[in-house]
Structure 1
């Protein structure tokens, strides 16, 4: 087991832990329990971020959050993703993970849909004291839009950059970024992105945050500004999360451009 002394960030895609095709929130219980077991076997510090899946995207689309300000829609969507966060945290704690929910609505301000500021001192203290912060896609207040949808895919690179975390992975329902033949693209860098962009599709279900293309673009921006390498891999396959947490390269690597 290769355990780093530095925290690692693990993103759990909404399509892995929920049925994103469902009109109402439906948890994939077997998948969530398997993930919790694999996470519990890791002995290092970590932050977990999970997508909203069928608990958030349906309501966000219904109320057109980010396009119009709807107080009822903001409340309904936030309460729905809180329910999912509670299920995730409860399941992790059943396996001894010492997880605790951190709701972005309570600690984040956006401007035009992008994070302006996030209170992180509590997360730093949690990591120092053996707790596992669990954040999630959420509705947050926005200085221009009044409220917006904040994707977990945006939270992950923000945390990595601000907390100087060097290893992060996005666990999706695919083996990584797939080419036209369904094969995993081994590596994407800012320079090679245009070669692969036409392969990368959005989500096949209701997703207001950009699907796979959105994930790749967020991680590429991170690589440009911080030289962080990240991974997009299949969290739906047994042992992949355990392997990622313990240092194995997985799926598609999103890397900075090679320096001459």
Structure 2
């Protein structure tokens, strides 16, 4: 299968859920708008969405970043699965042939980093015109029992393994912002140290490292694959369709030029 025209789109949990809620609260109108923007896209597409209030508060409540807990692992998985079902059903209503892929059933981590992911289903889905939809999840972990697997880790892993050509990270920010609130157009290894000072964690409960975590994962991706990723505001109408139509928006991360 020719992988070189795969696009990976991450949709942040803060865009499709109320991330400040204590329990799963979806923003259905946002999910519907995003589905409408994706519906015109013709190419091979993998969607990864964050967990937002369907995962982060549960992880915090059960202390799952520091300890193994059967009940907490199950409750968190079932919660993010509920959000994934909403996303997949909304995409299908918009005419997108979307299918769910739950990392709990196909990924193994070691000390909170992906050790392996069974990708054959994803490749066959793409080859047959489906859009696989993955999400942040609890996964089995050979060291910890279970661990949190963030969508921000899934995206670069799949991008490297499947040689994706274009990566978009739809967050709740216009891009990566400097100390004056302006969008930084390009981040690469040359300017990362000076930009690191501007990057802080997410405003709401985020157990996956906020914007700094995203940038670090994507810089690592660019080193391993020579690809460029774009962080942009998925909450703004038209940005996702602009990204999918080939426009460079938000902050570019990687070796590429603007």
1:34-113 alignment, distance < 5 Å? 34-113=33-112
In the TM superposition, residue 5 of structure 1 has moved relative to its aligned partner by: 7.5
Please, which moves more after superposition, 124-133 or 24-33? 24-33
* Separation in 1, partners of 2:241, 2:196: 29
What is the rounded CA distance, in whole Å, between the counterparts of 2:100 and 2:177 in structure 1?
A: 32
Deviations 1:10-65 (A, max 9, x none): 00000000000001111111111110000001111100000000000000111111
* Cα pair 1:5 1:45 within 8 Å, conserved: no
Give the CA deviation at 1:191.
2.1
1:184 corresponds in structure 2 to 183
Aligned residue number for residue 246 of structure 1: 245
In structure 2, the gaps of 5 or more residues are: none
Aligned equivalents of 1:195, 1:169: Cα separation in 2? 23
Task: Please state how far the C-alpha of 1:66 moved relative to its aligned partner.
Answer: 2.9
Deviation per CA, 1:134-192, whole angstroms, max 9, x where unpaired? 00000000011111000000000000000011200100011000011110000000221
Count of residue pairs brought into register by the alignment? 255
Pairing 1:136-147 to 2, within 5 Å after superposition: 136-147=135-146
* 1:200 and 2:199 matched: yes
Match of 1:15? Answer: 14
How far is the alpha carbon of 1:252 from its aligned partner? Answer: 0.2
Residue 256 of structure 1: CA displacement?
Answer: 2.1
Q: 1:5 to 1:146 in 2, by over 3 A?
A: closer
Find the aligned partners of 1:117 and 1:248 in 2 and give their Cα distance. 32
Q: Residues 211-226 of structure 1 correspond to what in structure 2 (within 5 A)?
A: 211-226=210-225
Measured in 1, the distance between the counterparts of 2:197 and 2:115 equals 30
Structure-2 separation of matches of 1:18 and 1:56: 10
1:257 Cα deviation (Å)? 7.6
Secondary structure in structure 2 of the residue aligned to 1:199: coil
Q: Distance in 1 between matches of 2:190 and 2:146?
A: 34
Distance 1:226 1:46 in 2: 18
TM-score (norm 2): 0.97
1:181-213 superposed Cα distances (whole Å, 9 cap, x missing partner): 110000000221101001011110011000111
**Mapped partners of 1:120, 1:232: distance in 2:** 25
- Could you say which residue in structure 2 is the equivalent of 1:174? 173
Structure 1 unaligned residues grouped into runs of 5+:
none
1:20–1:54 contact (8 Å) kept in structure 2: yes
Specify whether residues 257 and 168 from structure 1 end up closer, same or farther in structure 2 by C-alpha distance, changes over 3 A only: closer
